[in-house]
Amino acid sequence: MFKDQQPLGLWAQISNIYRHRKQNGSGTQSLSLNQFGSSFFAFYANFIFGISVEPFNHYLVWTRCGALLLTLFILWHIWQERHNKVTALTLLAATVALVAGFASITFRPFPVFAQLGANGLMLVVTLILIQGTYHQWLLLYKYKQIGALSFGLFRSILVKDISTLLFGLTMPLNQAWPLLVLNGASVIMRGAVLIQMEVIKRRNHCNVLQD
């Protein structure tokens, strides 16, 4: 199984925010609130899925716990710079959801309807993730600037999503299918963003050489 590099990728993103803030006055340049909000809830859906299944899935719960806290910190930075209603509501919703998620551990094992709700959450979050990541791709395509986005973040998320897909294949299909759908969509969309970042990086490098 792949080494868990997701927290390192998120730390790299946070470091980029601080570095760009020091250099440019804005630490969240090119960061899509849509993308990071949807990323939070993608991590959250895996987190809740791990809590809801029987037996309790320590791999899904605790690996996503760190990612949730670090992504929440990134959302806080975005709110700190933009101070509008959308960023505030996103940060509030993420905070409340995380507290509720930890509280739900005390109510295990979940009844059947709650497990169905967790599966439904996975599907809803899959759609949110697709549109959020597509929004980040559009920003990159439109402005041709990577800004404070971290290559390490997207690479680490891809590694984690692939490892989760492989992990899901070890589970019964009737239990693991929401996990496979969510993480499969994430691999495709995050891969597209990473490719676009690489294209911009190479184009900028070629422009520098020509100058």
DSSP 147-160: TT--HHHHHHHHHH
Please state which of the ranges 30-34, 59-63, 110-114, 193-197 shows the lowest mean pLDDT: 110-114
| Single pTM value for the model | 0.85
At 4, the pLDDT band (50, 70, 90 cuts) reads low
d(C-alpha 129, C-alpha 23), whole Å: 30
- Of residues 160 and 73, more confidently modeled: 73
pLDDT tens sequence across 161-182: 999 999 999 989 988 999 999 9
- How much is the pLDDT for 1? 43
- Enter the tokens of residue 194: 């990473």
Q: Residue 138: how many CA atoms within 13 Å on its side-chain side?
A: 10
CA dist list (Å): 10 to 148, 174, 190, 207: 12, 32, 14, 29
3-state SS class at 57: coil
d(C-alpha 48, C-alpha 121), whole Å: 9
